Structure 1
Amino acid sequence: MFSEPSEIFRRVWVPLEGSLNAEHLYLSSKLAALEALRGGFTTVVDAGTRSDAGLDAIARAVSDAGVRCVLRLICNDRPGAETLDAAPIQRRASEHLGRYDHHALVTPSLAISIPEVASDAMLHHVHRMCAEAGRIFQTHANEHLVAVERSLNACGRRPIEHLAAVGALGPAALLAHATLVTPHEIRLLAETGAAVAYNPVASAWKGNAVAPAETMATFGVRLGLGTDGTRSDGFRLLDYAEAAQRFAFGIGVGDSSCGAGWRWLDMATHDAADVAGLGAVTGEIAAGKRADFLLVDLDVPELTPSWDVTWELVRLANRDQIRAVFVDGKLRLWEGWPPDWDARALMHDIRAMAADTIAGAPIRKLRDYADAHRARHAQTVSHAGTPGT
Structure 2
Amino acid sequence: MVDIYVLPLKYKEFKKIINFMIRGLHVETKTILIKNAIIIGDEIKKGSLITENDKISEIDYSNSSLNHADEVIDAEGKVLSPGLVNTHTHLSMSLMRGLADDMPLDTWLNDHIWPVEANLDGEHCYAGAMLACAEMIRSGTTCFNDMYFFMDHVADAADKAGIRGTLSHGMIDLGDEEKRKAEFKETQRIIDKCHETADGRIKVAFGPHSPYTCSRELLEGVRKEADKQGLRIHIHVSETQKEVEDVMEASGKRPFEYLDEIGLLGSDVLAAHAVWLDEDEMDIIKERGVALSHNPASNMKLASGVSPVSKLLEKGICMSLGTDGAASNNNLDLLEEMKLAALLQKVTTLDPTAMPAQKVFDMATRGGAAALGLEDEIGTIEVGKKADLILVDMKSSSLTPLRNPISHLVYSANGADVDTVICNGEMLMKNRELLTINEVEVISRAEEASEDLLSKL
TM-score range (shorter-chain normalised) is 0.7 to 0.9
Task: Please tell me whether the aligned partners of residues 168 and 187 of structure 2 are also in contact (alpha carbons under 8 angstroms).
Answer: no
Higher relative contact order (CA 8 A, sep 6+): 2
Greater per-residue helix proportion: 1
Task: Please tell me whether the aligned partners of residues 296 and 323 of structure 1 are also in contact (alpha carbons under 8 angstroms).
Answer: yes
- Given the alignment, which residue of 285, 290, 315 partners 2:411? 315
Shift of 1:243: 0.8
Task: Please tell me whether the aligned partners of residues 236 and 272 of structure 2 are also in contact (alpha carbons under 8 angstroms).
Answer: yes
Shift of 1:168: 0.6
- Given the alignment, which residue of 344, 350, 362 partners 1:244? 344
Q: Render the CA deviation track for 1:23-72: whole Å, top value 9, x for unaligned.
A: 211111100111111121111111221xxxx3221111111122211110
What is the alpha-carbon distance in structure 2 between the residues aligned to residue 268 and residue 176 of structure 1?
14
Q: Indicate how the Cα distance of structure 1 residues 163 and 312 shifts in structure 2: closer, same or farther if over 3 A, else same.
A: same
- Given the alignment, which residue of 270, 273, 283 partners 2:369? 273
Structure 2 counterpart of 1:35, which letter?
E
What is the alpha-carbon distance in structure 2 between the residues aligned to residue 136 and residue 43 of structure 1?
16
| 2:104 alignment partner in structure 1 | 5
Q: Render the CA deviation track for 1:317-372: whole Å, top value 9, x for unaligned.
A: 122221111111111123444124421022122223322321313xxxxxxxxxxx
Tell me, what secondary structure is at the counterpart of 2:177?
A: coil
Tell me, what secondary structure is at the counterpart of 1:228?
A: coil
Task: Please tell me whether the aligned partners of residues 294 and 325 of structure 1 are also in contact (alpha carbons under 8 angstroms).
Answer: yes
Q: Render the CA deviation track for 1:227-267: whole Å, top value 9, x for unaligned.
A: 11123112211110101111212x1xxx2211221110000
Task: Please tell me whether the aligned partners of residues 139 and 414 of structure 2 are also in contact (alpha carbons under 8 angstroms).
Answer: no
Tell me, what secondary structure is at the counterpart of 1:269?
A: helix
Tell me, what secondary structure is at the counterpart of 2:244?
A: helix
- Given the alignment, which residue of 392, 398, 411 partners 1:302? 398
- Given the alignment, which residue of 114, 139, 142 partners 1:42? 142
Report whether the alignment pairs 1:83 with 2:83: no
The 5-angstrom pairing of residues 354-373 of structure 1 reads: 354-361=450-457
Structure 2 counterpart of 1:103, which letter?
A
Report whether the alignment pairs 1:334 with 2:430: yes
What is the alpha-carbon distance in structure 1 between the residues aligned to residue 104 and residue 364 of structure 2?
27
- Given the alignment, which residue of 115, 130, 153 partners 1:30? 130
Q: Determine what percentage of the aligned residue pairs are the same residue.
A: 25
Shift of 1:173: 0.9
What is the alpha-carbon distance in structure 1 between the residues aligned to residue 138 and residue 112 of structure 2?
26
Task: Please tell me whether the aligned partners of residues 137 and 421 of structure 2 are also in contact (alpha carbons under 8 angstroms).
Answer: yes
Task: Please tell me whether the aligned partners of residues 127 and 449 of structure 2 are also in contact (alpha carbons under 8 angstroms).
Answer: no
- Given the alignment, which residue of 30, 35, 55 partners 2:151? 55
- Given the alignment, which residue of 65, 68, 81 partners 2:161? 65
Task: Please tell me whether the aligned partners of residues 337 and 343 of structure 1 are also in contact (alpha carbons under 8 angstroms).
Answer: no
Structure 1 window deviating more from structure 2 (173-182 vs 301-310): it is 301-310
What is the alpha-carbon distance in structure 2 between the residues aligned to residue 38 and residue 218 of structure 1?
33
Shift of 1:278: 2.1
| 1:380 alignment partner in structure 2 | none
What is the alpha-carbon distance in structure 2 between the residues aligned to residue 261 and residue 131 of structure 1?
36
| 1:216 alignment partner in structure 2 | 312
Structure 1 window deviating more from structure 2 (292-301 vs 82-91): it is 82-91
Structure 1: 5+ residue runs without aligned partners? 362-389
Shift of 1:13: 2.5
What is the alpha-carbon distance in structure 2 between the residues aligned to residue 87 and residue 3 of structure 1?
36
| 2:446 alignment partner in structure 1 | 350
| 2:386 alignment partner in structure 1 | 290
Structure 2: 5+ residue runs without aligned partners? 1-99
Task: Please tell me whether the aligned partners of residues 269 and 284 of structure 1 are also in contact (alpha carbons under 8 angstroms).
Answer: yes
Tell me, what secondary structure is at the counterpart of 1:174?
A: strand
Structure 1 counterpart of 2:339, which letter?
D
- Given the alignment, which residue of 183, 189, 196 partners 2:279? 183
Q: Indicate how the Cα distance of structure 1 residues 31 and 144 shifts in structure 2: closer, same or farther if over 3 A, else same.
A: same
What is the alpha-carbon distance in structure 1 between the residues aligned to residue 192 and residue 389 of structure 2?
27
| 2:57 alignment partner in structure 1 | none
Tell me, what secondary structure is at the counterpart of 2:421?
A: strand
Shift of 1:132: 4.6
What is the alpha-carbon distance in structure 2 between the residues aligned to residue 274 and residue 190 of structure 1?
14
Structure 1 counterpart of 2:335, which letter?
F
| 2:118 alignment partner in structure 1 | 18
Q: Indicate how the Cα distance of structure 1 residues 85 and 140 shifts in structure 2: closer, same or farther if over 3 A, else same.
A: closer
Q: Render the CA deviation track for 1:65-99: whole Å, top value 9, x for unaligned.
A: 222111102333x32x5333755544554453343
| 2:190 alignment partner in structure 1 | 96
Q: Indicate how the Cα distance of structure 1 residues 15 and 241 shifts in structure 2: closer, same or farther if over 3 A, else same.
A: same
Task: Please tell me whether the aligned partners of residues 324 and 335 of structure 1 are also in contact (alpha carbons under 8 angstroms).
Answer: yes
Greater per-residue strand proportion: 2
Structure 1 window deviating more from structure 2 (329-338 vs 198-207): it is 329-338
Report whether the alignment pairs 1:115 with 2:211: yes
Q: Indicate how the Cα distance of structure 1 residues 353 and 129 shifts in structure 2: closer, same or farther if over 3 A, else same.
A: closer
Aligned residues: 351
The 5-angstrom pairing of residues 129-148 of structure 1 reads: 129-148=225-244
Structure 2 counterpart of 1:212, which letter?
P
Shift of 1:172: 1.0
Shift of 1:102: 4.0
The 5-angstrom pairing of residues 224-243 of structure 1 reads: 224-229=320-325, 230=329, 231-243=331-343
Task: Please tell me whether the aligned partners of residues 133 and 163 of structure 2 are also in contact (alpha carbons under 8 angstroms).
Answer: yes
| 1:170 alignment partner in structure 2 | 266
Task: Please tell me whether the aligned partners of residues 323 and 333 of structure 2 are also in contact (alpha carbons under 8 angstroms).
Answer: no
Task: Please tell me whether the aligned partners of residues 214 and 259 of structure 1 are also in contact (alpha carbons under 8 angstroms).
Answer: yes
